[in-house]
Structure 1
Amino acid sequence: MTDFLTSIQAALGLPQTPEAICFTSTGALPSAFAVTDLACASIAAAGLAVAELLCRQTGRWPSLEVDRRLASFWFATSLRPVGWSVPPLWDPIAGDYATRDGWIRLHTNAPHHRASAERVLGQCADRATMAAKVSQWGKTELEQAVVDAGGCAAEMRSWEQWQTHPQGVAVNAEPLIHFAANIHQTEKTWQGSVAQPLAGIKVLDLTRVLAGPIASRFLAGLGADVLRVDPPDWNEPGVVPEVTLGKRCTRLNLHDKSDRAVFEALLKDTDILLHGYRADALERLGYGQDERQNIAPGLIDVSLNAYGWCGPWQNRRGFDSLVQMSSGIADAGMHWKKTDKPTPLPVQALDHGTGYLMAASAIRALTERLSSGHCSSARLSLARTAKLLLEHGQVNTPQALRAEDAGDQGMLIEQTSWGPAHRLQVPLKMTGTPLQWTIPAGELGSHRAQWW
């Protein structure tokens, strides 16, 4: 735990204050890696960033507490529907497949990603058909073919193989969080309070599954006005009830002239921009970093991608499960479990961990902006968070947590767009600053594209 938190605090530029936070409860998610420690440390870091902001503005440092059990559960799901169910997280043919020389994972949740895989392999109605087709390919050859077709795939590599792969070499040389100062300055003042430190802060969320939405959910819980923007045809039904808590959600087509005008008007008044497009996507839309700063001179710009910001894969599509395959996590899990197939982490820990680091980065940049007027940007990646997890080695978890262990945590009732649900108590407690959300989880595109 200490190693994780020390590394994260150093990356954020936060003071090393081990006595400033208390960790409670016992147990850990069963895994080859210290997943629960990563969960606690990343949530704690976000809390420490809030504490620093409050201390700078009020002169008082709040006490902080992180519950290990709740942190573990929030890294999976915090929602328990009552009388309805969340749609399946995975497309029927998404998953791991044996090739003639190893393993590969196909990510087909988005319809266009499935279509790309099927352009290479042919249409498949079920996993058995897909498995038969994949078995005829070599893993490296198939990975490249699916990627070239616009799809998402990752062969299983060991950590040793990843360390010598050109992309592994590139991302492992990057900092966990890359901060960069912008030339613009602003004289905006703090409008928040101890109870709602981010009141008056406008957050424009251009992220999708899953890290970015975790970040904006945390910011919303601190009083920020979060507006999520999705394309007209995008949906992610398996995670929307989990991550839209506290947000308003709208849709804009950034290829449409009138929608671009609306977007630019929103961006002009934005304090924090979160985006998770591939590294070159906003540039190709005409909204590169210079353009964003010109539209919103005081902007705090926080971005993430899958495989890092340099190297041959910097623009590659990717998701948590794929990065686990590429970076050696699934391979290490296979050896830990003594099985013959990929064994990923028990939760999407790279997504969740990176999400809380994004939130901490945004708050850290806001604190600096309030103190000096200087604005900054931050870049993170799932692959770099994977390195953080891998660096702290394999573990044994004799006190394994189970999903049913969450039942005694005092859940709250939330009236979501789909029906009532129990929402777990939050794992982070700060004196005088409760994480709380005034907007229940709701459908994408259910609000107007405007600030409150």
Structure 2
Amino acid sequence: MTDLLSSVQAALGLPHTPIALTSEGALPSAFAVTELASASIAAAGQATAGLLLEQTGRLPGLSVDRRLASFWFATSLRPLGWRVPPLWDPVAGDYPSQDGWIRLHTNAPHHRQAAERVLGQAADRAAMAARVAQWKAHDLEQAVVEAGGCAAQMRSWNEWQAHPQGQAVNAEPLVHFLSRHGDTALPWRGSPARPLAGIGVLDLTRVLAGPIASRFLAGLGADVLRIDPPHWNEPGVVPEVTLGKRCARLNLHDAADRQVFEHLLAHADLLLHGYRADALERLGYGAAERQRLAPGLIDVSLNAYGWSGPWQKRRGFDSLVQMSCGIAEAGQRWQQADKPWPLPVQALDHATGYLMAAAAIRLLAERLKTAAVGSARLSLARTAKLLFEHAPDGTEAALRAEDPDDQGLLVEQTPWGPAHRLRVPLHLSGTPLQWDLPASDLGAHRPQWQAL
């Protein structure tokens, strides 16, 4: 059992029992990325095993393949004869400023527009680089954020520790559980093979961390309904993260769509949301209103920069948090590179997603057992602190390269073409992770629960 896994178990209130981690090797990084991948997936599996023990009296065996876990933290999808659209917008990325590096995140059209309102329109990276070079990094970060965009100055870990937001994140738990109130008992409608069957998960998350959580829950049999606004798209990740889900669209500024949303919320067992800290409040669906509409609702949420401090409402993504909190700077020194050096995968997103899933399952188990309804909060920045707290072994060899045996036998018929998935890294005896639906495009389904 690793120290990192012990920290995760403690944060989730899981037993400090060893979990078998198979295969050898690690992703090359200044940080323990493979260990984080293994520990976060193991924690989600252990939470599931605990739920099954309480409901069936049997504790399933549990193991995690470290190598496959590392691969899943990049992508699980292997298209057959087609390609996933590019992940990054052409001008997204790291740029040298007058006094250091800054990252612009421009994948969403309105985020690119915000950056270009500050910097001027840029047809390509060269044009953008010329504009960024005229700014100091801190001033540009502030200007882009104030324009409604997403940017992050590269800071060292020590600089982050001195920053008010770094200090705020340090004071937060990795998983902040909040106990709310009791409700009527919730019957278990699952089985050892599909432990979350009958559980309705309303998914208001985007891009990676939250969708990773709901994908895991769908693999255990949950009815996951993802809701997006009318024009939102994230083509580079949709084929990866919509596996097992139904995806619908609603405009929460429209009265008729709000009525549909409130009906969905009232009949949900679990809400996952990853908007900025005040976003649902501004839509009229703050915590008190959600509790009024759905008294028994389990609520699990994440944001980028934590739930306290001056940046708690700041837009952010994994790559930006890596720049802000010192990961990219530490990687640059480790690699002896002349530019920021991020993690080899978007590990903050993936790990936080599995920790969200574990927290949701822990809360669901408590709801089934005692009728208590609770909530949990997580953040990418707090997961980053976990990485800094646990140095890598440093002696492990590189992971063995992927081979055809790593892919599952099933062919997933997606709207973009057929594909394989990599074999699942989590083995839970009697409870295979399996998805009833292939990946689908956003807005492909009606906004309704299967059972209603």
The correspondence of residues 106-121 of structure 1 with structure 2, limited to 5 A, is 106-121=104-119
Instruction: Give the match for residue 347 of structure 2.
Output: 349
Instruction: Give the match for residue 52 of structure 2.
Output: 54
Instruction: Give the match for residue 447 of structure 2.
Output: 449
Instruction: Give the match for residue 316 of structure 2.
Output: 318
What's the offset of the Cα at 1:29? 0.7
What's the offset of the Cα at 1:16? 1.0
State the one-letter code of the partner of 1:151.
G
Instruction: Give the match for residue 383 of structure 2.
Output: 385
The correspondence of residues 9-408 of structure 1 with structure 2, limited to 5 A, is 9-18=9-18, 21-396=19-394, 398-401=396-399, 404-408=401-405
What's the offset of the Cα at 1:444? 0.4
Counterparts of 1:415 and 1:442, CA distance in 2? 9
Task: State the Cα RMSD in Å.
Answer: 1.0
Instruction: Give the match for residue 3 of structure 2.
Output: 3
Distance 1:285 1:184, change over 3 A: farther
| CA deviation profile, 1:229-270 (whole Å, cap 9, x unmatched) | 000000000000000000000000000000000000000000
Q: Percent identity?
A: 74
Q: Is the 8 A contact 1:269 1:296 kept in 2?
A: yes
Counterparts of 1:397 and 1:162, CA distance in 2? 28
State the one-letter code of the partner of 1:194.
P
Q: Is the 8 A contact 1:306 1:320 kept in 2?
A: yes
SS at 1:11 equivalent = helix
What's the offset of the Cα at 1:408? 2.7
TM score, norm. by length of structure 1: 0.98
Q: Is the 8 A contact 1:28 1:397 kept in 2?
A: no
What's the offset of the Cα at 1:179? 0.5
Extract unaligned runs of 5+ from structure 2: none
Counterparts of 2:289 and 2:404, CA distance in 1? 48
What's the offset of the Cα at 1:177? 0.4
Q: Is the 8 A contact 1:31 1:397 kept in 2?
A: no
Extract unaligned runs of 5+ from structure 1: none
Q: Is the 8 A contact 1:32 1:395 kept in 2?
A: no
Counterparts of 1:205 and 1:250, CA distance in 2? 10
Runs (4+) of structure 1 exceeding 4 A deviation are none
State the one-letter code of the partner of 2:402.
D
Instruction: Give the match for residue 415 of structure 2.
Output: 417
Counterparts of 1:376 and 1:282, CA distance in 2? 18
What's the offset of the Cα at 1:410? 3.6
| CA deviation profile, 1:287-306 (whole Å, cap 9, x unmatched) | 00011011111100000000
What's the offset of the Cα at 1:406? 4.4
State the one-letter code of the partner of 2:4.
F
SS at 1:405 equivalent = coil
State the one-letter code of the partner of 2:175.
I
Q: Is the 8 A contact 1:31 1:395 kept in 2?
A: no
Counterparts of 2:389 and 2:14, CA distance in 1? 21
| CA deviation profile, 1:261-289 (whole Å, cap 9, x unmatched) | 00000000000100000000000000000
| CA deviation profile, 1:160-201 (whole Å, cap 9, x unmatched) | 000110000001110000001112412111000000000000
Counterparts of 1:397 and 1:212, CA distance in 2? 33
State the one-letter code of the partner of 2:131.
K
SS at 1:46 equivalent = helix
Larger CA deviation: 175-184 vs 330-339: 175-184
Q: Is the 8 A contact 1:184 1:297 kept in 2?
A: no
TM score, norm. by length of structure 2: 0.98
Instruction: Give the match for residue 430 of structure 2.
Output: 432
SS at 2:226 equivalent = strand
Counterparts of 2:407 and 2:391, CA distance in 1? 33
Larger CA deviation: 263-272 vs 3-12: 3-12
Q: Is the 8 A contact 1:27 1:397 kept in 2?
A: no
Counterparts of 1:375 and 1:182, CA distance in 2? 6
Counterparts of 2:395 and 2:256, CA distance in 1? 54
Q: Is the 8 A contact 2:202 2:270 kept in 1?
A: yes
State the one-letter code of the partner of 2:172.
E
Q: Is the 8 A contact 1:307 1:314 kept in 2?
A: yes
What's the offset of the Cα at 1:340? 1.5
Counterparts of 1:28 and 1:186, CA distance in 2? 46
Q: Is the 8 A contact 2:407 2:420 kept in 1?
A: no
